[in-house]
Amino acid sequence: MDAKVEHNGTSLAMESKLEPKLDSPELNGGKKSETPSKVSVAILGSGDYSRSLAGRLVRSGFSVVVGSRDPDRNRRLFPQAAAVTTRRAALSGAGLVFVAIHRENYPALQADRDALAGKILIDVSNNTKLKEGESNAEYLARLLPASTVVKGFNVVSAWSLDSGLFGGSKEVFISSDDDEARRTVMQLAQDMRFVPVDYGNLRAAREIEAMPLRLLPSWHLALKMVLGVLVFYVLWNVYRGVVFYAIKSGDNYAAHIPIHQVNRALGDTAITTLCLVYTPGVLASFAQLYNGTKYKRFPNWLDKWMRARKQLGLLCLFIASIHGCLSVLEWSPAYGYDRLFEKTVVNANGDVVVGMMRWSGETFLLFGTLALFLMAVLGVTSIPSVTNTMNWREFNFVQSKLGWVIFLFAVTHCAVYMAEAFIESYLFTSYTCPAFYIDLTLCAVLLLMKIVTLLPCVSSRVDRIRRGWERNGPGGKTAQTNAAYGHEDPEMTSYL
């Protein structure tokens, strides 16, 4: 279950260790719900989703009746415990009705308007493309004003229902204009071992129906940022390593673009993305210092940036892994790593002998390898089954403290590689600075800001603000806050 904690306009999502319980009284006005086996649920429709839904309801202890236009033909497709009959007969004894038919077939339900009157209709439909205006659920409510329409279960796939909820999200988003009907369907979802999420009135169905149609919505910002950085570094390195020399001397180095130049760009992108992961947390600390409170919302751009940290971190791990593999493929003095090796000599037989790596070469590989493997550790801790075994202090240590260690290792990896050639004049022959200058400049700025936040006079104020102290509060004294807020740290990336 993703429990979202609002903090300065920033949602920090973390896996809850709580599992939904059958007959939970919380969603039923403090009263224990009716035993599922005594509840009769009707399903209108006989498609794939209806069959999977019927199976899930039966396994959850519900009495299921399926209304079909051709019950004799479709009866064999449903579980034996589910009765398959006509629509009119299915509606006669059911209070909850799943409408599992397409929107274009909704008008046909008007023939059973009297049988549907006073019943709760759960609309599970989806659209084939994003659209503006009236949702399917709102359209159904307009066609059948005597019924109560609830939107829900449309984000759960038929495969997930059949597989016992493995491999899919357990969240079910539910909306309705009737509060009691919404609570009833939320209790039904919980009895089916789902996690119900109250989305308010029926107008929210427009957002709920759009969810399955959006491809990786939480990744859009991170993908745009990383793709922009990658394109910039590819063009930068291709210009410096290929285009400039072709114009100046006619030398053709285009054959080295696929691996050598792209690999350089990947390394630059990886360390820049790592900066993008930790920069918003430091900026959030300065924003809290400036505002004198943790209860004021962050600027919208910073809020969106902080929400994208997890995706940025995973993309950084992906890019760094490719960079590591390509580096192994081209690991040779001929590919620009010559200064990391002892001098190459020719022996008496005329054989070329390449010396062993120097201290700089071994240090370069050591810190690069450590950074990559520790980054993989952070990736493992993002797996829900692993996260659920960690307490808050352990999770905070891995995601924040260990994350900064990885950042320092990555900076050392980059700095050692160019340490002996940092001010060589040949690096500036293309009228541009090397890409690693940009990398290290960004890293230096971030480290400087981080060091400022670690100064005793600053860190003590930040800690007080995070515990609830407000500069303009009553007497400027620390307020008693919720225990969850007491541990919130905007610098904790929570990104992998």
Query: Which of 354, 316, 322 is closest to 335 using CA atoms?
Result: 354
Q: Which of 2-6, 84-88, 369-373 has the lowest mean pLDDT?
A: 2-6
Please write the tens of the pLDDT for every residue from 216-264: 888 999 999 999 999 999 999 999 888 887 887 777 778 888 998 999 9
Please provide the CATH number assigned to the domain covering 2-213.
Answer: 3.40.50.720
Convert the pLDDT of each residue in 174-221 to its tens digit: 999 999 999 999 999 999 989 999 999 999 999 999 998 887 888 999
How many Å apart are CA 146 and CA 440, to the nearest integer? 66
Mean pLDDT of 155-171: 76
Whether the pLDDT of residue 347 is over 90: the answer is no
Strands (E), 37-167: 40-44, 63-67, 83-85, 96-99, 120-123, 148-151
Q: How many residues does the chain have?
A: 496
Rounded to two decimals, the pTM is: 0.70
**Average pLDDT of 471-487?**
49
Q: If you average pLDDT over residues 484-495, what whole number do you get?
A: 48
Q: Quick one: tokens of 316?
A: 């950084």
The model's confidence at residue 483, banded by pLDDT at 50, 70 and 90, is very low
410-421 tens-digit pLDDT:
999 999 888 877
Whether 415 and 441 have beta carbons less than 8 Å apart is answered as no
Please report the pLDDT score of residue 454 as a whole number. Answer: 94
* The two three-digit tokens of residue 457, written as one number: 């006079």
Cβ-Cβ contacts under 8 Å for 395 (sequence gap 6 or more): 14, 381, 387
pLDDT for the residue 486: 38
Tokens of 219: 């990744």
Domain ranges across the chain:
2-213, 217-486
Read off the tokens for 90. 């299915």
Neighbours of 442 (CB within 10 A): 17
Q: Are 458 and 288 in contact (CB under 8 A)?
A: no
